[in-house]
Amino acid sequence: MAGKASNAEASSSGDNGTTKTTSGSFKHIGNKMKRTELYRKYKAEKAKAKFARRSTQAKEERGEDGAVKKAARLATNKTRTIENTRDFNPTIINAPNTHEGPGPSNLKTDGDDDSDEDGSEAEEQPMQEEQEAAEEVDDDEDPSAPPAILITTSMPSSSTSPHLESLNTRSHPAEKTRQFVDELLSVFPGAEYQPRSKAQGVGLGKICGWARERR
C-alpha cells in the first residue's frame, strides 16, 4: 500500500490515460517500452517549454529596457566555474615574489664524474638517501621563493633494454626521451636535468638533495 501511495503522489493520469510526471522519473512503470516512450515525450515537452521560455525572454530583451533586463539576468545567472566555486584556502601564499630566481636551464646529459663508482655499493645507498632527504626540513625557507625544478628520467632496467649489455649504456635515455626533456626545460625556466643512471646509483634521495642544494 505504501508503494502504491508513493506512486500516486509522484505521478498523475492524463486525459488519454497515460501517466505523467513532473520529476522526469518513470521508474514506477514496469513496461520498458512504455517507460521509454513516456520519457521521450517528457524530454520533447521539456525542450519545447525551454524554447518558448527563451524566445519570450529574447523578445523582452529586444524591446524597451531590454539592456537593463539582460544585464539583470546575466548578473543573476552566473556560470558556475571552478574559480568562483573554489573554497578559500588559507594555506595558499599570495605574497609578492621577492626571491631571486635561479639562472637559465642547465642541461647535463652525461654523468661522467661519477662513472667510476662501485655498482654494488650504489645499489645500497638510494633507500638510505631517500630517508635522509625526507627527514630534512628547512624551516628558514622563503615561502615566496620559486620552486627549484629538477627533471630526471626513470630508472633503467635490463627488462626494458635487453639488447644492451652494459648498465652504463642503458642509463642514457632514448632520443625521443631526450627531445621531450629539452621541451620540458624550455617550458620551465630555471629547470635542470639530471640523468638517472643505475650504474651510478643515483636514487630519488640523491636527486632531491641536488634540488635542495641548488636552491
pLDDT at 53: 93
User: Is the CB of residue 203 less than 8 Å from the CB of residue 124?
Assistant: no
DSSP-derived secondary structure letter, 114: G
pLDDT at 36: 93
Q: Is 148 helix (H, G, I), strand (E, B) or coil?
A: coil
pLDDT at 127: 62
Cα 162 to chain centroid distance, Å, stands at 35
Tell me how far apart the 2 most distant CA atoms of the chain are, in Å. 91
Rounded to 5 degrees, what are φ and ψ at 45? -65, -40
Distance separating alpha carbons of residues 144 and 98, to the nearest angstrom: 7
User: Is the CB of residue 171 less than 8 Å from the CB of residue 98?
Assistant: no
Distance separating alpha carbons of residues 193 and 210, to the nearest angstrom: 11
User: Is the CB of residue 20 less than 8 Å from the CB of residue 8?
Assistant: no
Spatial CA neighbour of 213 closest among 150, 127, 142: 150
pLDDT at 46: 94
Binning the chain into helix, strand and coil, the percentages to the nearest 5 are 50, 5, 45
Residues of the chain with pLDDT under 70: 1-23, 92-147, 155-172, 196-203, 210-211, 214-215
Spatial CA neighbour of 212 closest among 155, 151, 154, 147: 147
Rounded to 5 degrees, what are φ and ψ at 14? -85, -175
Which 3-state string (H, E, C) describes 189-210? Answer: CCCEECCCCCCCCCCHHHHHHH
Distance separating alpha carbons of residues 202 and 111, to the nearest angstrom: 10
Q: Where are the domains of the chain?
A: 2-85, 106-214
User: Is the CB of residue 127 less than 8 Å from the CB of residue 211?
Assistant: no
